[in-house]
Amino acid sequence: MTAENFRQELQRLSNPQNAFQLQRFFKTGPGQYGEGDIFWGIKVPYTRELVKKYKKMSLGEIAKLTPDPVHEVRMAAGFLLVECFKRSDEIGKKACYDFYIENATCYNNWDLVDMTSHHIVGGWLYEKERAPLYKLAASDNLWEQRISIISTFYLIRRDDFNDALELAKILLNHKHDLIHKAVGWMLREVGNRNHLVETEFLLENRRYQQMPRTMLRYAIEKFPEKLRLDFLKGNL
């Protein structure tokens, strides 16, 4: 199961028409967050299906795919790393986690982060010291910052909310809407598990009025309509 064989099989699934649309959707133009990214136009389910065939690929082979200039190849490398992490013992999981952190900037679009980080980073740190999340949040790199908050999804699903809320405070006034959306999403997930915890977080020091509007909208998306409107109008 070599990286070269996988990449060749994946390339055969290319769709130039889809590639053009994806390059626009993922903001690959000059000055945009995905500037210069290359797409083959392969839909995610097709990539996942091929990953199933190669799911036992070694970490060494996955490492050859991770820095690839093609978006779908990097995505596939992320999926393969998740598979490697899930099947590994403690030593193997640590190797996958360490590799992910060392190569975090290769997961340089929101979908690449969102489909991988909570499985690997959140999964590894669940019963460990969480300091690496705060180091990522303090990075100057947008994608490492997004990894920090999205990784808490694993924790949130296990009713462990503290780090998600603390990171939300740290990232509250971030300038980029991709962080606004990520923080709002994780706050919404906290609310899905415990509505009171999320509501108290938003109301504390009227925090909901300090956060970017997009973040707030994401966070309260599933609130009862009257309460949602009260938050949006600042009536609380």
CATH of 1-105, one of 1.25.10.90, 1.10.1270.20, 3.40.50.10320, 1.10.10.10: 1.25.10.90
pLDDT at 195 over 90: yes
The CATH 1.25.10.90 domain(s) of the chain lie at 1-105, 116-236
pTM (whole model) above 0.75 = yes
CATH class of the domain at 116-236: mainly alpha
pLDDT tens-digit map of 90-135: 999 999 999 999 999 999 999 999 999 999 999 999 999 999 999 9
Q: Mind giving me the DSSP string for 93-123? A: HHHHHHHHHHTGGGS-SHHHHHTTHIIIIIH
Residues 6+ apart with CB under 8 A from 232: 216, 217, 220
Over the Cα atoms of the chain, what is R_g?
A: 19
**pLDDT, the chain, mean:** 96
Mean pLDDT of 195-216: 97
pLDDT tens-digit map of 160-183: 999 999 999 999 999 999 999 999
pLDDT at 218 over 90: yes
Provide the pLDDT for residue 236: 87
